[in-house]
Amino acid sequence: MSNSTELKLLSLSGNKISHLENFNSMPKLRELYLANNRIKKIGDSFLQSPRLTVMNLAGNTLYQLQDIQNLSFLPSLQSVVFADPMYGECPLVSLSAYRYFVINYLPTLNELDHYRITSEERSYVTEFFKYPHFVDFIP
């Protein structure tokens, strides 16, 4: 994939991918579909993907809040999917206050799991994270 510098949309759903690599060589990538693979960790795979706006990671084995935080370096990310009726859910979706954590750590999002994020919901998230004891359990 190192010769894919002009690529804007990439769909790799359902390919049994277990490791994310070489995405930093695609600076123009805007949409990435990685649903229904075997991805366990996001890591720093997207640090050089400033134009990425849409990601679907549903149906993978992501289970740590750190994976959400690793996406916070994407300044243009507007829509991310961890739960999709077609591909299933990542285990992290079942974490308590999952949606609040995603909205907090990814402030540029307009949509999460195919549902629009409202201004009222953002206000709730802001209030939720005002109190430091709520974030003490994040690794």
Give per-residue pLDDT as tens, 20-53.
Answer: 987 878 889 999 999 999 999 998 888 888 999 9
Q: Is residue 71 part of a domain?
A: yes
Residue 77 confidence (pLDDT) above 80? yes
- Give the per-residue pLDDT at 43: 86
How large is the C-alpha radius of gyration of the chain? 15
CATH classification of the domain holding 17: 3.80.10.10
Q: Is residue 114 part of a domain?
A: yes
CA distance 139 to 80: 22
Q: pLDDT tens digits for 78-107?
A: 999 999 999 999 999 999 889 999 999 999
- Give the per-residue pLDDT at 118: 97
Q: Is residue 1 part of a domain?
A: no
CA distance 28 to 31: 9
pLDDT band at 130 (very low <50, low <70, confident <90, very high): confident
CA distances (Å), origin 74, targets 30, 48, 53: 11, 8, 8
Q: Beta-strand (E) ranges in the chain?
A: 9-11, 31-33, 54-56, 79-81, 83-84, 88-89, 111-112, 115-116
81 vs 134, higher pLDDT: 81
CA distance 13 to 117: 25
Q: Is residue 105 part of a domain?
A: yes
For residue 34, give its domain range: 9-134
pLDDT band at 133 (very low <50, low <70, confident <90, very high): low
Q: Is residue 3 part of a domain?
A: no
Q: pLDDT tens digits for 110-122?
A: 999 999 999 999 9
- Give the per-residue pLDDT at 96: 85
Q: How many domains does the chain have?
A: 1
- Nearest Cα residue to 40 out of 13, 72, 17: 17
Q: Is residue 60 part of a domain?
A: yes
Q: Is residue 4 part of a domain?
A: no
Q: Is residue 2 part of a domain?
A: no
- Give the per-residue pLDDT at 136: 52
CA distance 31 to 53: 6
